[in-house]
Structure 1
C-alpha cells in the first residue's frame, strides 16, 4: 500500500471524490450500529446461494445481524449453513471497514477514523481466542477459527493486518491493552498458519495448492507487523515458500496451474501482498522469477491476453463470470500492476473492474482506488487502451493448453481449450470454443456458480454446458488434449486441436481458421462405435432465423413428448433438457444444406452464423440453465448432432455480412464472402486453404 494516500486526494479530483464516498459509507455504517463484531465464527461463503434460483444471496454490510436471507428474486432462505455463510461475509466486511477507516484517516487525519480502525482490529484480536477450531468445517478443509476454512481466515487476516500496518505507518499508537491483545492474536495466528502449511506441504504433499500462497501471504503480514525479517526470509526461501510456489503453482506460460482465470487472480493477489510485506524489509519480489521464468509481470501479461476487447476476463474453468468481490480483487491487483509494470493491456481490465464496481464508464471508486490507484483515471487512458487492443493477436499457452486467435480487421476472435483438466477446479471441456465479438463474449465459458449450488456438478462443470462435443449425452473424461498445428500468416490464423481421451476409442479434431472476414470451425469426430455425437454451442443472445434459407421446426408447445427433451447423463443420473426448436436446412437434392442464423450483439452489431447440415444431421434449440451469474434466466443452446461412428460439423461465423458455405463433391468446403471464395480441404497435415481475397 502506498503511504501517499493524502497526496492522491490533494492532487487528483478522483481521489477527493473517492475519499468523500468512503467517509460517507463509514459514517452511515457507524450510525446504523452495524460495525459490531459477531462472537460466532463464519462458515463457508459458497453456501450463500439460493437453492431454487442458484444465484448468490444478497448481502448488505449495513446489517448488524441476520438469520433470514434473500435472493435477488425475493426468496427468503433460513438455516445454519446460510447463517454461517452470512457470518463469513460479515467478518470480511468488518475487516474491510477497518482498512477503509485506516485509509480515510491517512487521507484526512481525522482521529475518529483511526479510532474506528483500532476498535475493529483490537476487537478481533480479543475475540479471536474465543472462536473454536471450527466444528462445522467440511472434512476436506483445513479448519480455521474465525471461519470454516483456514484459507478464508488467511485472506481475512491480511486485510486486518494491512489496516494495522497502515495505521502504524501514519504514526497511530496503540494502548498497552490493545498491543497485548494484538500480540496474542499474532501468536495464535502464526501458530495456526504455520501448522496449516506443514499439513498442506509436508503431510499432504500439495505445496502447489492456491491455499499455500494465501498462508504465505498471511504469515508475511504477521512478520511485517512483528518486524521479523528473519521469519520472512525463511518463508520466502523455504519449501512451499514464495519463490518455490511461483515455480510450481504457475506454469511456464505464466498461467496458474489449474487453468482458471479466477484462481490465477486469486494467487497473484496473494503474491502481491507477500511482495508488499517483503518490500518493507528492502526485499524485492516484484521482479523475482521462478525456475522456468515465471514472474508476476508475466502473470499480468497473460491476463491482458485472456481479457476480451472490453477488458472482461474470461471465466475459464471454475470462477465467476462477474461478481462484486471478484471485481474488487481485480481492481486491486490491476492498480498495483499498472503502477509497477506499466503494461498497457492492464488498462481495459482495470476500467472494466471499476465499471462492475459501479464506477461510471470505469471511473475509479471504492477502497481499492484510494489505496492502490496512481495517476490519471483509467478512463482517461483510451489512447493507451486502443493501442494495446490493436497490438493483440495470436497467443498460444502451450503448458496450460489455451490458444487465442485475433486479427485486427475482424470483429470476431476466439479462445479454445485443449490443456490439462485443471484438478478440482477443472471442467470436462476439452476442445471448448469461446467465440468473442468486440462488444461481447458471444459463446463464453460460463464459469461456475457458488459451490453450494447443486448446479456446480449437475451443469456448469459438465461437457454439455460448454461449446464442444459430447457422446451419448455423457460428459467427457478428465484428460489433456493437444495442439497439433498453429500458424499465423498474412492470410489467416489457423489452429488444429485434438482430443483422444474424452471417450474410449474416440478421437476429436477441431480446426479453427480465422481470416480477416470470418471464422471457420470444422469439427471432426470418430467415435469408434455407433453413438449419438453431439456438437454444442451456447450463445448468450437469442438466435434470429432467416426464414428464406432455414426450414423452421415446430414451436415449443407443439413438440411431442417423445423427442421433446434431450437427455444428459450427469453423475450417473439423467437430466432432461427441453427441445424448443427444430431446424432443417434448405437443400432439396439430398446434399448438405445451409442452416442460417444471426444474432444481435450489444452496440448494434450482428453475428452471422452458417452451418452445413448433411443428410442425417439434426439441429435443434435446447433450453438450458442460464449463465453462472443467473442460472434461472434460461438460454437456448444450438445442438447439432448425428448418430453413427463418425461426424463432421462445419460452421462459419462472420460479423457485418453473411458468409456462405458449400460442400463440394470431394468433401472440401467452400467459404464465400465479399472478400472472395476460399476452398478448405482436410488433409493429413490439417486444413489446406486454396484461394484468397478478391481485390478490386
Structure 2
C-alpha cells in the first residue's frame, strides 16, 4: 500500500472503533450498491453523463438503476428513450460504480468487513475483463476520446478511482487478481491517458496527470511519474502556470478552481510519503484561502463562469485535507462554518481531517487586486449587501464572455446574481448561460464579447464612499490563455471598443456609470441587468413580440418596451420585490430604449426579471442608482446630469435612512 503507513492504518482503525456512527454514514453511501447486482458494460458504450438532461427544461433527468431505456424529466415529466440518453445512463452507472468502489475499499480498510472488499474487487475485475476491448469513442466538445467513457476526462476519473481502490484492497486480493487488474486495465489505461492528454493548461489535464501519476506511484513506474508530475503540462507545470497572480485557477470559475485542486490533492494524498510530493508548494494554500475573499453572505460560493450547483456542493470538503496539511484560520473558518450546517461525518473528514477543529473567527472586508491588475473586486456592507465586479482576464473554455459583469446581493437575496450555468449537454448551456447577454454587463450588436484583459483602474474611499473603476479595452493587444478555446464571440464588434464601469458604493445604495466608446457603425449597445422576485413598477410600456432571434435573447419572454412619448423623463424608476426585499432601480434615460421581460433563472424552470437599456453607437453612457430595503425605499429621488464628459448624480435620501433625509452629490 502506498497511501497510508502502518501507523496511519492503526490510527484509522482505532478511530473507526471509537466513532461507529461515522462508519455507518460512509456505509450509507454504498448501501444501494451492496444490495443489487453490479452492472458493468461489456462494451465501450458509455456516453457523457452531461447529456442526461431534458432538452426542454435543461434540468437533469431522474436516474433509475432499473430503467436503462426510460429516462424521465423531474420538471415536465416527459420520458426520453434512445440516444444520447441510453448511453449517458451507462456513463452515470460507471461513475456510481467507481465512486462506490473507493468507499467500499475504505470501509474494508477501516473495519475489515470482507463483503465490501469482495464487491469492490468484483467490479474491478469485471471492468478489467472487458477494458482492453472497449471501443475508443466520444466527440465531446473540448475533450479527447475515452474507452470506458466518452472523454479522456471520464477515463481519468474512472482509472484514478479504481487505482485508489486497488491500493486500498491490494492486501486482500489474490496475486492473480492483482496482476489481472494491473495488466488488463490500469497499465493500458495509463498508456491511453498519456496518448490523449492535451498539451494545454486545463483542469482536464490535472485530472489526467493525477491518474497517471497515482498509477505510476502504485507500481513504481518512473516513466509515468516523470510524464505526469515533472514534464511539460504535468502537475507541477499546471500548478505554477495555471494559478493566476490573484491566486485563482486561471479558468476563473470556482467550480474548476476546486475541481483542479481536488485532483492535485488526490495525487498529494498518495505522494505524501514519497519524494514526489509537492505538498509544500505555496500555491496550494493561497488558492484555498482565496475563497474567503469572494464568499457571498450565507456561506455561498459565487457562481462565476461555468460554475453550477453540483460543482459547489462538495468543494468545502477539500478543506479537511488542506487544513490538516497547511493550517491557518482561513481554512479552519470554512470548516467551522460547514459544520455549523451539517454533522462532521463525511469520508474526507474521517480519513484526511484533523482530529480537532478549534473555533475561530475571520473578519470579512472588501477585496480587490492592485490597481492596473486583472481580477475581481468584492464590496460588502450591512444587511448582507454584497457586490462583485468582474474585471479579470479571459480564462478559456470554462469562462463566460462577461467582462465588467456585476453580481449584487442584499438581505439574504441574490438580487442580481451571476447565473452560472447548467449541465454542458443541456441546450441552455451554450445558447443561454454562457453568453454576454445573460450577464449583468454590456454587449454590442447582441453578440458575445470577445476575449479581453480587464483591469482595476481605481479603488479609493472618499467621505465614506468607495469608488471603484474597472476597464475592458479591446483596442489593446491580448494574449489568449494556453488552452484550447472554441470561438463563440464577435471580435469585429469589439476590437475598436473600450468600456469603463464606475461604481460608488455607499451604506444604503450604490451608483454606477457604464461608459462605452468606439462602437463602429450603428450597432445596438445593450446594458443588461436581471433582478429577482416580482416586477412591481415600471414606466408605461407596450408588449412586443420577437425581441430578438439571437442567443441568449431568444429565450426571453413577456417583453415590454417603455413608452416615453407622453411621459418623457430623465430619471426612470423600476421596482422589484423578492419576499419583502424591495429593490429600486433609478436609471438615467438619456434617450435610450428601455425593455423589461423575463428569462430563465438557474435552475431554468424558474424565471428572473430582465431590464435592458439600449442605445446605438459610437458612444454610450448608462447611469443608475440601485438600492434595496425591507420596507420603504431608502432613496427618495435621483437626478442625473451628464456634462463635460462626466456624470453628476444627486441622490436624495428618504427619512428611513440611518442618517435621515439627505442630498448627496456623486461625481463619476
| Common fold by TM > 0.5 | yes
Q: Give the alignment partner of residue 504 of structure 2, picking from 513, 533, 549.
A: 513
Structure 1 residues 326 and 504: alpha-carbon distance in aligned structure 2, compared to 1, 3 A threshold:
closer
| Residue of structure 2 in register with 1:336 after alignment | 321
Q: Give the alignment partner of residue 82 of structure 2, picking from 76, 79, 83.
A: 79
| Residue of structure 1 in register with 2:487 after alignment | none
Q: Give the alignment partner of residue 570 of structure 2, picking from 592, 599, 608.
A: 592
Structure 1 residues 496 and 228: alpha-carbon distance in aligned structure 2, compared to 1, 3 A threshold:
same
Matched, 1:48 2:52: yes
Displacement after TM superposition at 1:353 (Å): 7.3
Query: Is the 1:251–1:400 contact (alpha carbons within 8 Å) kept by the matching residues of 2?
Result: no
Displacement after TM superposition at 1:371 (Å): 3.6
Matched, 1:471 2:447: no
For 1:483-522, list aligned pairs within 5 A: 483-488=456-461, 491-501=464-474, 503-522=494-513
Structure 1 residues 391 and 626: alpha-carbon distance in aligned structure 2, compared to 1, 3 A threshold:
closer
Moved more, 631-640 or 93-102: 631-640
Query: Is the 1:44–1:148 contact (alpha carbons within 8 Å) kept by the matching residues of 2?
Result: yes
| Residue of structure 1 in register with 2:482 after alignment | none
Structure 1 SS opposite 2:534? coil
Displacement after TM superposition at 1:463 (Å): 1.1
Displacement after TM superposition at 1:146 (Å): 0.7
Q: 1: distance between equivalents of 2:429 and 2:639?
A: 40
Structure 1 residues 585 and 372: alpha-carbon distance in aligned structure 2, compared to 1, 3 A threshold:
farther
| Residue of structure 1 in register with 2:556 after alignment | 577
For 1:497-576, list aligned pairs within 5 A: 497-501=470-474, 503-526=494-517, 527=519, 529-545=521-537, 551-553=539-541, 559=543, 563-567=544-548, 569-570=550-551, 575=554
| Residue of structure 1 in register with 2:172 after alignment | 173
Matched, 1:96 2:99: yes
Q: 2: distance between equivalents of 1:665 and 1:336?
A: 54
Query: Is the 2:524–2:616 contact (alpha carbons within 8 Å) kept by the matching residues of 1?
Result: yes
Superposed CA offset, 1:554-602 (max 9, x none) = 6xxxx2xxx344215349xx836334455579997x552340424335x
For 1:450-461, list aligned pairs within 5 A: 450-461=423-434
Q: 1: distance between equivalents of 2:155 and 2:227?
A: 22
For 1:343-382, list aligned pairs within 5 A: 343-346=328-331, 361-364=341-344, 366-375=346-355
Displacement after TM superposition at 1:519 (Å): 1.9
| Residue of structure 2 in register with 1:662 after alignment | 639
Structure 1 SS opposite 2:501? strand
Superposed CA offset, 1:354-404 (max 9, x none) = 8xxxxx933345544444444468xxx7x63xx32x333222288983322
Structure 1 SS opposite 2:550? strand
Q: 2: distance between equivalents of 1:6 and 1:398?
A: 52
| Residue of structure 1 in register with 2:286 after alignment | 298
Task: Number of aligned residue pairs: give it.
Answer: 626
Superposed CA offset, 1:285-331 (max 9, x none) = 22214xxxxx11111112222221222221221231x12x6523x14
Moved more, 145-154 or 499-508: 499-508
Matched, 1:58 2:62: yes
Structure 1 SS opposite 2:144? coil
| Residue of structure 2 in register with 1:357 after alignment | none
* TM-score for both structures, normalised by structure 2: 0.85
Q: 2: distance between equivalents of 1:448 and 1:54?
A: 10
Query: Is the 2:394–2:451 contact (alpha carbons within 8 Å) kept by the matching residues of 1?
Result: yes
For 1:173-322, list aligned pairs within 5 A: 173-184=172-183, 185-197=185-197, 200-201=198-199, 206=200, 208-228=201-221, 232=225, 235-289=228-282, 295-320=283-308, 322=309
Q: 1: distance between equivalents of 2:373 and 2:403?
A: 12
Gap regions ≥5 residues in structure 1: 290-294, 355-359, 683-696
Structure 2 SS opposite 1:522? strand
Q: 1: distance between equivalents of 2:240 and 2:61?
A: 37
Q: 1: distance between equivalents of 2:14 and 2:337?
A: 25
Moved more, 503-512 or 257-266: 503-512
Superposed CA offset, 1:634-685 (max 9, x none) = 3221223335643332232244551242225855102344344331113xxx
* TM-score for both structures, normalised by structure 1: 0.82
Structure 1 residues 395 and 421: alpha-carbon distance in aligned structure 2, compared to 1, 3 A threshold:
same
Structure 1 SS opposite 2:525? strand
Moved more, 435-444 or 269-278: 435-444
Structure 1 residues 407 and 429: alpha-carbon distance in aligned structure 2, compared to 1, 3 A threshold:
closer
Displacement after TM superposition at 1:345 (Å): 4.0
Superposed CA offset, 1:459-516 (max 9, x none) = 1111110001123433323333332222356723321112333625433221012223
| Residue of structure 1 in register with 2:123 after alignment | 120
Displacement after TM superposition at 1:76 (Å): 0.9
Q: 2: distance between equivalents of 1:618 and 1:241?
A: 52
Q: 1: distance between equivalents of 2:421 and 2:112?
A: 43
Q: 2: distance between equivalents of 1:453 and 1:583?
A: 33
Q: 2: distance between equivalents of 1:334 and 1:613?
A: 46
Q: 2: distance between equivalents of 1:58 and 1:218?
A: 30
Q: 1: distance between equivalents of 2:54 and 2:344?
A: 31
